[in-house]
Amino acid sequence: MSWIEAIILGLVQGLTEFLPVSSSGHLELGKYFLNIESGNSLAFTVAVHGATVLSILIVFRKDIICLLKGSISFKWNMENQYILKIIISMIPVGILGFFFQENIEKFFTENIRFVGSMLVITAILLALSHFARAKNKKLNYLDAFIIGLSQGFAVLPGISRSGATIVTGLLLGIKKEEVAKFSFLMVVIPVIGANLKDVFSGDFTDAAGIGLMPIIIGFFTAFISFVAFPVHKIIKPSAKGSSVPACPTLIFL
């Protein structure tokens, strides 16, 4: 892998991680167009995902710190209720990710046509969200579980995790701003967990073939591009509907 390829893939990962367009799907497409085999680039994939995990913690540090401070009060306050909703939303993806993700990734990751078809489905869902009628409903525990179910489909390469959860929340009639914020915060732990799972169970013998420098370059490119990108400005448009990101997704395909 060349330095230029590492920069390109790092940018793809960093700029699409929390856009509702599937970072994993676009990363696979990027590898395909650059003639990089997915099965031989696990070390690089883990590195760029690790970079975005670190950047997520930095970008959303205020929200995370606020929840943590509220949780240590040992009172049934709004922060603890919110944390419980996040935990409930994690149940479906936790089960799927722990028991089935490896098999799903082996079956689909090398199938670029499947990745493309899942990206089309993501684009359609994003476009349909534009027609969802907001009811200004507050997020409850059942809603959190249903949104968590939609997040479970994101184990398929090409299905956007944030896209699926935002669309589901909008269709449930939850307040637009609330579902957008919840969608971003609920994926922090699953993303970290998925990366840790790859670190402890992955085979990184391919790292020698890729080279240490491209991995480092990809890591810092993904990290800087995500942190520098105005994520806080994306949350508001996402809350109004997600049809706009559907357009570049379809154009890219």
Q: Where are the beta strands (DSSP E) in 83-148?
A: none
Give the pLDDT of residue 159. 78
The total number of structural domains that make up the chain: 1
Give the pLDDT of residue 30. 79
Give the pLDDT of residue 106. 64
Helix (H, G, I), strand (E, B) or coil at 143: helix
Give the pLDDT of residue 88. 93
Give the pLDDT of residue 107. 55
| Cβ proximity of 165 and 65 under 8 Å | no
Inter-helix orientation angle 188-201/101-108, to 10°: 80
**CA 162 – CA 183 distance, rounded (Å):** 6
Dump the DSSP string for 71-89: HTT-S--HHHHHHHHHHHH
CA geometry: angle 100, 101, 107, nearest 5 deg: 95
Query: What is the pLDDT tens value at each position of the chain, 253 positions in all?
Result: 778 888 888 888 877 776 766 677 777 777 777 777 665 566 777 788 788 778 878 877 888 888 888 778 777 888 888 889 999 998 888 887 777 766 666 655 566 777 777 778 888 877 777 776 667 788 899 999 999 998 888 777 777 787 888 888 888 888 877 887 888 788 778 777 777 776 676 555 555 567 778 888 888 888 887 766 655 455 544 444 444 444 444 444 5
The per-residue b/e assignment along 131-143, b for 16 or more CB within 10 angstroms, e otherwise, is ebeeeeeebeeeb
Q: What range does the domain containing 39 cover?
A: 3-252
- Burial of 173 by CB count in 10 Å (0-12 exposed, 13-18 middle, 19+ buried)? middle
Give the pLDDT of residue 85. 92
